[in-house]
Structure 1
Amino acid sequence: MQNQIKSLQNPKIKFLNQLKDKSRVRKKEKSFVIEGQREIGLAIKGGYSITQLYYCPSIISFEQVTELIKLISQDIEYFEITQEIYQKLAYRTTTEGIIAIAISKDLSIENFNLATKNPLILVAEAPEKPGNIGALLRTADAAQLDAVFIANPKTDIYNPNIIRSSVGCLFTNNVAIGSSIDIIKFLQLHKINIYGAALQASVNYHTQNYNKPTAIVVGTEATGLSKDFLDNTTQNIKIPMSGVIDSMNVSVAAGILIFEAKRQRNFIG
């Protein structure tokens, strides 16, 4: 059914704002907010259930909204909202006039199933900045990795800033979340080689063979990898640098390492 909402004090708008801004509300309600046609479309394609749509007719036509609704298998509610309300809800200045509420998935590593016998996996340990997490997800999507594991995340994976900075690639990757120990156990159980991006006892990254089951693990720029990972890597690897500093942005480093592995696997774009 379609309804019009014209007040910022409407209970649905208040709830939408809470869902957007508060991780504890997202976890309690097992729902999250998606902004933008492309991102909503990717979420639907990724198997997420959309329960509500809110659209601003001065930005997006009802015909465009209808095209999205056609992609959704279940019945949903959709609401027309004013531009004032939309501007209060929207994160982006350049926007597409539509916001959705979706149901969260259980992304725990315990429930993750590998779809291939020779996977290439990115593991990000303790990522905190939504922009970095989004960039890592975009890189993983570009390389068509088999999975992205987030170990000890410091930020709710359904944070709207992660969805925005990933340009919806949260929904195009196979993502799993767990503690460092649980992810290490998973990798060891499936006999996946663990290559940790670290300076300690490391060799240049391009000297290694990534053609067998491989996980490339990156840590934070501030603290690097935890002892848990450092004690369990197959080999630590480093990117040779010629500058004064000995580190680079985690998403840049991950991209270099991932695409070397893809090159070795005869990746054709």
Structure 2
Amino acid sequence: MLTREQILTRNNVAIVGSGPKTLMLAHGFGCDQNMWQYLAPGLRERYTLVLFDYVGSGKSQISAFSESRYARLEGYARDVYEICRALGLQQVHFIGHSVSCTIGMIAALEDPGRFASQVMICPSPCFLNMPPDYNGGFEQSDLEELIDLMDRNYMGWASYLAPLAMGNQSSEMLIGELSDSFCSTDPVVAKTFARATFFSDYRHLLPRIQHPTLILQSQVDSLANEDVGKYMHSHMPESTLHVLPSEGHCIHMTHPDLVRDEIIRWLREQ
């Protein structure tokens, strides 16, 4: 069993701010905690923020990466609740982006007493189309081609996915930041996380989530379309859905003020 310090080092945990409510910010696929740099300043004045990198991402301890552990999202959820236990956190408000929304669900079900609420930024419990009831946005063959591109041309894969995720109206600077983040991730780690992200289906967990949940849906999102947000809201008993006037899958970067205001408004009621 790892010690407290080993866990905090493994996941490059950082704590900023000193507010009475604790927010845990969990980055998405191919990213790291640096992707919160536009949102965090507007939150750290009010709340205590716990930032971290999943194993294999950012400045985490790459030696701790195991394909067997991280081939499924449950492995990343273990990172989350192990950090919470190491810090002795209670009543955590989990702020997840993209796949981390699903990871947060898994962690909350594993250790429900530690969580107070969840904020899901552009979530998707399943990226695959599952007709006739679910439009995840992608066919199996589309995602297999994406993984194949990672094998054949890793830089090309990053250059393709970054503008798709960020949105057509995003600045070249933000697209470059995301592309650089993709490129800085070890290809084996990235491919393992990609398969765990894009080929999983966790829709069955939605009715089991009892914590109050705010779903922030981008009006135009190539990776998680509006139907996904509506589906999640209809299947989660304590959820609130806000569709924001925004484009892109990384609205915590492209529209940080809008996302900040939604989070602050939400937390006033929790």
Q: Give TM-score, length-normalised by structure 2.
A: 0.31
The structure with the greater share of residues assigned to strand is 1
Q: Larger % of helix: which? A: 2
TM-score (norm 1): 0.32
Larger Rg: 1
